[in-house]
Amino acid sequence: MTIAEDPATTAPGYKWVGTRMIRPDGFEKVTGRARFGADLKLNGMLYGHVLRSPHAHANIVSIDTSEAEKMAGVRAVITRADFPAPSGPAGDQDLQRNAMAREKVLYEGHVVAAVAAQTRGQAKAAAEAIKVVYEVLPHVMTVDEAMAPSAALLHPNLMTKGIDPAPTGPSNVASRALYQGGDLDLGFAESDVVVEGTFTTKPVHHGYIEPHAAVADTTPNGRTTLWCSSQGHFTMRAMSAKVLGWEPSRLKVIPAEIGGGFGGKTTIYLEPLAVRLSQKAGRPVKMVMSRDEVFRATGPASGTKIVAKMGFKNDGTMVAAELWMAYEAGAFAGSPAGAGSMTALAPYTVANFLIEGFDVVVNKPKVAAYRAPGAPMSSFAVESLIDEAATKIGMDPIEIRLKNAVTEGCQATYGPKFPRIGFVETLEAIKNHPNYQIPLGPNQGRGVASGFWFNAGLNSSATVHVNEDGNVIVVTGSPDIGGSRASMALMAAEEFGIDAARIQPVVGDTESVGYNDQTGGSRTTLATGAAVIEACRKILADLRGRAAKQWDVPLDKVEWVDGQAQHVDGTQPPLSLEDLAKGWNRTGGPLTASAALNARGVGSAFSTQVVDLEIDPDTGHVTVLRYLTAQDAGRAIHPSYVEGQLQGGVVQGLGWALNEEYIFDRNGKMENASFLDYRIPVASDMPMIDTIVVEVPNPGHPYGVRGVGEVGIVPPLAAVANAVEHAVGRRLRDLPLSPVRILDAILNKDC
Amino acid sequence: MSRIQVSCTVNGDPVDFLCDADGSLLNSLRDELGLTGVKEGCGTGDCGACSILLDGELNCSCLIFAPEAEGTTITTVEGLANGDHLTPLQQCFLEGAALQCGICTPGVLVAATSLLNHNPNPTETEIRYALAGNLCRCTGYDKIVRAVREAAAQIRETSA
Amino acid sequence: MGTLSRLARRLADLVGAHRAALQPAVCGPGIAKLGATPLDGLPSVGLARLRGTHLKYFAPSTVEEAVGLLAQPNTKVFAGATDVIPQIRAGRPEPDALVDLKKIDRLIAVQCTDAKWIIGAATPTARLTANAEFSAEFPGLAEAAGLIGSDQVQSRSSLGGNLCNASPAADSVPAMIVNGARVVIATANGGTRSVAVQDVPTGPGRTSLAPGEFVVEIEVDRAPARTADAYLRMIPRTEMDIAVVGVGVRVTLDESGKVTDALVALGAVAPTVVRVPAAEAALIGSTLDDAALAVAAAAASAACNPIDDKRGTIAYRTHVAGVLTRRAAVIAGQRAAEKNGASR
């Protein structure tokens, strides 16, 4: 059952797609040769260090850098005075204010100044010698505090969008998203079973193992090269330019290998600081965050509060759903409340629904996208209530989901109609798996949950070159986070009909390939892959034309089969890719083609998961006994890396469900900014993750690909809560389900 | 105060470097010796990305003062393979797709090498506990554990 | 990393910790000061001072040499440095000199005489737990020592460091205390003195060591017949965490299986490890029956004086201290019974 155990199987009709080649960048990564963000060293390089706010909310009265500037080894000091005043759309201004605080600091860890010096120690010492006078302001840390009528305001001009009539005064609520359909009162009136509750989740961090890092080198003529590890160097270029007040073209961004992102490396932190320091010092500057800085200053995922109510018929039909959801944005607007609202009920048909999602600013670091941003939290509430309803009705949790599952042609609660999707297939795959039948012992519980996530399309470019020896270079601008070079190579090999080992996939810098949006939104294999396929097909058309010319036959007499041009009648000896490459001097010059696109036909991703847990009734400790996930991948280009995405998403979700949380003291300072006390799962916490890759091809993609990177993290939160409920008989609605919480629930069962 | 000179053997080569008394061995390996395969994920011994073998024993190089390396023998991820000839562990990691982003991989490989040096036939549970000091955020550990198990089997087969 | 220690570790982890809390490190004078009031008593260590550049590093090869070095002000000894380095990274003031104790043979040694075990204070716990005889005689102490940190940390962590870091959550300390362990301290005048382990930590990050002193050895008397220990801790994960509660129990049985002696010590539930005489009294004279275990568990809970913090609540720690006391007593009892009269 588990594909991980199966030998390589090629998808029907394909020779390379669906095989498990060794990744092209693998050798470098197992031998320590691969260069990540912090690995670059340039001649004359200085080290940068950031001075960060010790307060959750304060006015900056003054900044005195005079002493720091005089210290040994110091070559540059920058503050707000070194950046242009924020301008442009609100989002751009927020970006600028987050990169370097202006009038106020809005969270502990907010950048106040930075220093470049000859050694790390000198830079740190100088940063600590900068004298900042703060006027501490009251802070708000939760959506409840931030939405209270008398709440301290983070931004004096923040007016709530999406409310009619528009508000007359500022608040901490940046926007409201609204999705509705049918008649809610009618829906609840028709319901036989109504379930409701208030759910909360804490901010959690992506926990990528590589801290943020950047090296900038500005030459006297103003041209700047920036090396950084990110999920998209074109976006790093655009964002950095906005903060610096430059045109993007003044920056060349070279992608380093990226040591994990999960959405957290889709925005800038150190990059514009390194550039400005380098510009001011006239030397290259390297900046690397400590783990402590990563926790305090880079985007976690939103903490949330969700009030949910759902109604069902006795046969399991979902007839009404009402969701009030507030998402912490951190210090600046931009939580994924909207995406959370769109995804919450997307797996189900429900006639009557109302979903409100509020984007609320609080004095915490600005949230960043995190794997299916917004969806795990809303799904936690919805999938918990579905489980409660199933229990009340006496229905199997898979059956109740099958009863309401969306299929092709159903209209999603967020608007569009679904094309062919594989949600039902994931439910059936779980139902039919032996794990689902294993009897449970005392203190054990089984939890089921499903989840939905979009696939992003966005913009991708690719350039494909054939070398004079007939081997192929595939250049994209999409950083490889988890094996995308391999999938690009496989798709190009499939197109050319040559061995994948003959394809060299390259992640090009911002001056070597056309614009690419970020590796994120489950889009890279799908969208950048589509650009690669299109570029390959352009070259194949070119190759057929050259063969036709050489044979002096019409183009329709030439077909491309197994890596060579063949005459349809077999009257000419075939011309291989090598032959045609060798002959390009006479046939039109080098073989190269580019493609650029707005990706269309993006798929929808669904996952269903089941977890078996055992709980120590005397300590509340949770042991994950087994875990099964089934996800629709459309078509798995490289099954191993697809499985890896599915498994990785599950385990991050398990961390979120069980032990991960930001803990703040009463002054709004983070108390657990280390991997010691921010507890991500370790190897011994986990069982094997039994993995079913369901393949219901996406009709919008040449190979049927769906994005697989994100949806895996959506179901675990509710799956765990549901399993805990079945193990201990208490419904827990506040994450994380730590031993302290669980034991409290067990001991206070009668309350 | 002038810097301290340290002489040791790294990946088979005798080397010297200069360090501060409280500098970490991790920083010396990366900055002075250019061994950037040794990664820093936390700097506090909680993630294992900087794992090395120090006189054959598994250590976090971030938890060692650089001067302590005097006279020691150190192996980093760069010293595992023999030229282009990968170890069974490295090869099994590639074949089993046991890495995604690859940042934890050097530390995991060093820790797994240490495990198999001590215990050529580890159970799944033993592998998981031996690697508990190496955080991986991409894989969920499944393929890592399988790759170690497979490499152990291959090593036992060849040495049998 | 012997199989035995691995299994022992697994057993202890069934209930759920490691490197002690981030408290000042190893034994020695600077440490005692650094603990509760980090800036107290130290020479001016301005925030703007350049870290490391003036610092000296020494690796003496004899206790006498180390004592001489420690006569200098603001000098800090360290063993594994697994706590010292994170503390420096976190911005604790640095000493003027670091003294590495690991080059002193006597501090890296495990010896056994007819009367006692003598463990060098800086001996890596991995080496201690790999000692099959020691682990068989003191399975609880071996488990506790084996729980300090990851395998990486085990190459460096030591009983001396774990003790003198003076974290209330140090795993090995309750287990040393129930075994009546003592420390041999090198004094500033070149002599030694012996102190019970429970008298070393005086509060989080604070020890009773005087300036110029450091721990040389830990001594544990050979276990009497039909005597065994156990250590259990609760952590949220299965590894890499600090104990939310840790419990050490040692019992001695008579030939009929009745408890003739018992010691119970709790970690992470008070500023220092707590002995629980009421729990010990409840166990003595019993056959570790349910009634006696219930009284002992209740006594352990009653002895707790914990705090609410990021790792656990007062209510949680109080309850779980009782749970683990009961479980550890049962395990220690079974082990003692298995020794079945054999002296060791």
The domain that contains C242 carries what CATH number? 3.30.390.50
pLDDT bucket at A751, cuts 50 / 70 / 90: low
What mean pLDDT is predicted for residues A377-397?
A: 98
Residue C210 sits in the same domain as residue C234: no
pLDDT(C19) > 80: no
Residue B109 sits in the same domain as residue B129: yes
Give the CATH number, domain containing residue B142: 1.10.150.120
Residue C199 sits in the same domain as residue C270: no
Q: How many residues does chain B have?
A: 160
Residue C118 sits in the same domain as residue C43: yes
Give the DSSP H/E element, type plus range, for residue C336.
helix C314-339
Residue B82, classed as helix, strand or coil, is strand
Tell me the C-alpha to C-alpha distance, in Å, between residue A59 and each of A106, A114, A155, C21: 9, 18, 12, 34
Exposure pattern of A249-285 as b/e (b: 16+ CB <10 Å)? Answer: eebbbbbbbbbbbbbbbbbbbbbbbbbbbbbbbebbb
Our CA-based measurement puts residue B103 at a distance from the nearest CA of chain A, in whole angstroms, of 5
Query: Measured between alpha carbons, how far is B127 from B133 in angstroms, rounded to an integer?
Result: 11
Residue B9 sits in the same domain as residue B73: yes
pLDDT(C33) > 70: no
Q: Answer whether residue B68 is part of any domain.
A: yes
**Token pair of A326 as six digits:** 């507030």
Domain-ending residue, one of C223, C241, C276: C223
pLDDT(C42) > 90: no
Q: Answer whether residue C165 is part of any domain.
A: yes
Residue A399 sits in the same domain as residue A484: no
What mean pLDDT is predicted for residues A665-684?
A: 97
Q: What percent of chain C has pLDDT over 90?
A: 77
Give the DSSP H/E element, type plus range, for residue C34.
helix C29-34
Tell me the C-alpha to C-alpha distance, in Å, between residue C82 and each of A151, C18, C26: 44, 11, 9
C61 touches chain B (CB under 8 A): no
Contact assignment for B135 to A680 by CB distance below 8 Å: yes
Q: Answer whether residue A592 is part of any domain.
A: yes
pLDDT(A149) > 70: yes
pLDDT at A11: 56
Alpha helices by DSSP H, listed for A512-558, are 529-551
B-chain residue closest to C124, CA distance? B57
Domain-ending residue, one of C223, C246, C270: C223
Residue C39 sits in the same domain as residue C125: yes
Total number of domains in chain C:
2
Query: Measured between alpha carbons, how far is A383 from A376 in angstroms, rounded to an integer?
Result: 10
By CB atoms closer than 10 A (0-12, 13-18, 19+), residue C302 is middle
Residue A484 sits in the same domain as residue A566: yes
Residue C138 sits in the same domain as residue C237: no
pLDDT(A5) > 90: no
Query: Measured between alpha carbons, how far is A610 from A631 in angstroms, rounded to an integer?
Result: 12
Q: Which residues lie below 8 Å from residue A302, measured CB to CB, with a gap of 6+?
A: A201, A203, A327, A328, A329, A330, A335, A336, A337, A367, A374, A377
Domain-ending residue, one of B78, B96, B112: B78
Our CA-based measurement puts residue B141 at a distance from the nearest CA of chain A, in whole angstroms, of 6
Closest by Cβ to A689, choosing from B76, B104, B140: B140
Nearest residue to A692 (alpha-carbon basis) of A710, A718, A712, A706: A712
For residues A11 and A642, the answer to whether their CB atoms sit within 8 Å is: no
Tell me which of A31 and C55 has the higher pLDDT: A31
Q: Answer whether residue A612 is part of any domain.
A: yes
For residues A370 and A299, the answer to whether their CB atoms sit within 8 Å is: yes
Query: Measured between alpha carbons, how far is A198 from B109 in angstroms, rounded to an integer?
Result: 45
pLDDT at C36: 27
Query: Measured between alpha carbons, how far is A718 from A387 in angstroms, rounded to an integer?
Result: 9
- Candidates A288, A676, A679, A744: best to mutate against C (most CBs of C within 10 A) is A676
pLDDT(A73) > 50: yes
Closest by Cβ to C316, choosing from A126, A128, A743: A743
pLDDT(C2) > 50: no
What mean pLDDT is predicted for residues A196-215?
A: 98
Residue B118, classed as helix, strand or coil, is helix
What mean pLDDT is predicted for residues A175-200?
A: 98
pLDDT tens for each residue of A684-729 = 999 999 999 999 999 988 899 999 999 999 999 999 999 999 999 9
Residue A576 sits in the same domain as residue A702: no
Residue A532 sits in the same domain as residue A651: no
What mean pLDDT is predicted for residues A294-307?
A: 98
pTM, rounded to two decimals: 0.94
For residues C237 and C255, the answer to whether their CB atoms sit within 8 Å is: no
Residue A683, classed as helix, strand or coil, is helix
pLDDT at A135: 98
Q: Which residues lie below 8 Å from residue A52, measured CB to CB, with a gap of 6+?
A: A108, A109, A110, A111, A112, A293, A296, A297
pLDDT at C7: 37
Query: Measured between alpha carbons, how far is A328 from A154 in angstroms, rounded to an integer?
Result: 13
pLDDT(C3) > 90: no
pLDDT at C184: 98
Compute the count of residue pairs across chains A and C with CB atoms less than 8 Å apart. 82
Q: Answer whether residue B83 is part of any domain.
A: no
Give the CATH number, domain containing residue C34: 3.30.465.10
Specify the residue for token string 């009557």. A352
Exposure pattern of A27-38 as b/e (b: 16+ CB <10 Å)? Answer: bebbbbbbebbb
The residue segments making up the domain with residue A492 are 459-598
Residue C90 sits in the same domain as residue C237: no
If phi over 0 gives left and psi between -120 and 50 gives alpha, with beta otherwise, what is residue A114?
beta
Give the CATH number, domain containing residue A651: 3.30.365.10
DSSP A151: P
pLDDT tens for each residue of A169-187 = 999 999 999 999 999 999 9
Query: Measured between alpha carbons, how far is A443 from B75 in angstroms, rounded to an integer?
Result: 46
Residue A517 sits in the same domain as residue A403: no
Domain-ending residue, one of A573, A598, A623: A598
pLDDT bucket at C201, cuts 50 / 70 / 90: very high
Residue C74 sits in the same domain as residue C146: yes
pLDDT tens for each residue of A473-488 = 999 999 998 889 999 9
Mean of per-residue pLDDT scores for chain C: 86
Q: Answer whether residue C343 is part of any domain.
A: no
pLDDT(C344) > 50: no
Domain-ending residue, one of A539, A567, A598: A598
pLDDT bucket at C39, cuts 50 / 70 / 90: very low
Q: Which residues lie below 8 Å from residue B83, measured CB to CB, with a gap of 6+?
A: none
Domain-ending residue, one of A557, A574, A598: A598
pLDDT(C103) > 50: yes
Q: Answer whether residue C344 is part of any domain.
A: no
The residue segments making up the domain with residue B12 are 4-78
pLDDT tens for each residue of C132-141 = 999 999 999 9
Strands (E), chain C: 56-58, 75-78, 97-100, 110-112, 116-120, 182-186, 192-196, 201-203, 206-207, 214-221, 227-234, 245-253, 259-267, 274-275
B-chain residue closest to C3, CA distance? B119
SS3 content of chain B, % helix, strand, coil (to 5): 40, 20, 40
What mean pLDDT is predicted for residues A395-409?
A: 98
DSSP A418: P
Q: Answer whether residue C342 is part of any domain.
A: no
Residue A432 sits in the same domain as residue A512: no
Q: Answer whether residue A314 is part of any domain.
A: no
Residue C214 sits in the same domain as residue C245: no
Tell me the C-alpha to C-alpha distance, in Å, between residue C288 and each of C94, C242, C331: 49, 29, 10
Residue C4 sits in the same domain as residue C118: yes
Residue B15 sits in the same domain as residue B73: yes
pLDDT tens for each residue of B27-80 = 999 999 999 999 999 999 999 999 999 999 999 999 999 999 999 999 999 999
Q: Chain A contacts of C234, Cβ < 8 Å? A: 619, 621, 739
pLDDT(A744) > 70: yes
Q: Which residues lie below 8 Å from residue A408, measured CB to CB, with a gap of 6+?
A: A418, A419, A420, A421
Tell me which of C18 and A353 has the higher pLDDT: A353
Give the DSSP H/E element, type plus range, for residue C282.
helix C277-283
Q: φ and ψ at B24, to 5 degrees?
A: -85, 150
The residue segments making up the domain with residue C267 are 227-337
Residue C249 sits in the same domain as residue C198: no
Residue C302 sits in the same domain as residue C171: no
Query: Measured between alpha carbons, how far is A701 from A476 in angstroms, rounded to an integer?
Result: 18
pLDDT(C38) > 70: no
Total number of domains in chain B:
2
Q: Which residues lie below 8 Å from residue A560, measured CB to CB, with a gap of 6+?
A: A497, A540, A543, A544, A566
pLDDT(C27) > 60: no
Q: Answer whether residue A70 is part of any domain.
A: no
Nearest residue to B55 (alpha-carbon basis) of C215, C82, C103: C103
For residues C100 and C209, the answer to whether their CB atoms sit within 8 Å is: no
pLDDT(C124) > 70: yes
Give the CATH number, domain containing residue B46: 3.10.20.30
Give the DSSP H/E element, type plus range, for residue A96.
helix A90-99
Q: Which residues lie below 8 Å from residue C189, measured CB to CB, with a gap of 6+?
A: none
Q: Chain B contacts of C10, Cβ < 8 Å? A: 125, 129
Query: Measured between alpha carbons, how far is C16 from A605 in angstroms, rounded to an integer?
Result: 36
Q: Chain A contacts of C53, Cβ < 8 Å? A: 121
Q: Answer whether residue A283 is part of any domain.
A: no
pLDDT bucket at A224, cuts 50 / 70 / 90: very high
Domain-ending residue, one of C223, C250, C284: C223
pLDDT bucket at A12, cuts 50 / 70 / 90: low
**Token pair of A688 as six digits:** 């094997």
Long-range contacts of residues C37-43, Cβ cutoff 8 Å, at least 24 apart: C38/C92, C38/C93, C39/C93, C42/C74, C42/C93, C43/C73, C43/C74, C43/C96
**Token pair of A471 as six digits:** 């081997």
What residues does B85 pair with on adjacent strands? B82
Query: Measured between alpha carbons, how far is C124 from B54 in angstroms, rounded to an integer?
Result: 13
Residue C141 sits in the same domain as residue C53: yes
For residues C119 and C135, the answer to whether their CB atoms sit within 8 Å is: no
Query: Measured between alpha carbons, how far is C163 from A270 in angstroms, rounded to an integer?
Result: 40
pLDDT at A602: 83
By CB atoms closer than 10 A (0-12, 13-18, 19+), residue A12 is exposed
Residue A534 sits in the same domain as residue A652: no
Contact assignment for C59 to B68 by CB distance below 8 Å: yes
Dihedral sign for Cα C283, C285, C287, C290, please: negative
Closest by Cβ to C85, choosing from B24, B51, B67: B24
pLDDT bucket at C199, cuts 50 / 70 / 90: very high
Residue B14 sits in the same domain as residue B61: yes
Q: φ and ψ at C155, to 5 degrees?
A: -70, -15
- pLDDT-wise least confident of A147-151, A282-286, C78-82: C78-82
pLDDT at C53: 56
- pLDDT-wise least confident of A5-9, C100-104, C292-296: A5-9
pLDDT at A213: 98
Our CA-based measurement puts residue B28 at a distance from the nearest CA of chain C, in whole angstroms, of 14
Contact assignment for B119 to C85 by CB distance below 8 Å: no
Q: Answer whether residue A504 is part of any domain.
A: yes
Q: Which residues lie below 8 Å from residue A367, measured CB to CB, with a gap of 6+?
A: A203, A299, A300, A301, A302, A327, A328, A329, A330, A334, A335, A336
CA max distance for chain B: 55
Total number of domains in chain A:
2
What residues does B15 pair with on adjacent strands? B8
Q: Chain B contacts of A674, Cβ < 8 Å? A: 42, 44, 46
Residue B63 sits in the same domain as residue B117: no
| Sheet with B57-60, edge to edge strand ranges | B13-19, B4-10, B73-75, B51-54, B57-60
pLDDT tens for each residue of C244-276 = 999 999 999 999 999 999 999 999 999 999 999
Query: Measured between alpha carbons, how far is A365 from A368 in angstroms, rounded to an integer?
Result: 9
Q: Answer whether residue A319 is part of any domain.
A: no
Q: Chain C contacts of A744, Cβ < 8 Å? A: 315-316
Our CA-based measurement puts residue A648 at a distance from the nearest CA of chain B, in whole angstroms, of 4
Mean of per-residue pLDDT scores for chain A: 95
Residue A411 sits in the same domain as residue A463: no
Contact assignment for C82 to B125 by CB distance below 8 Å: no
Closest by Cβ to C57, choosing from B4, B48, B119: B4
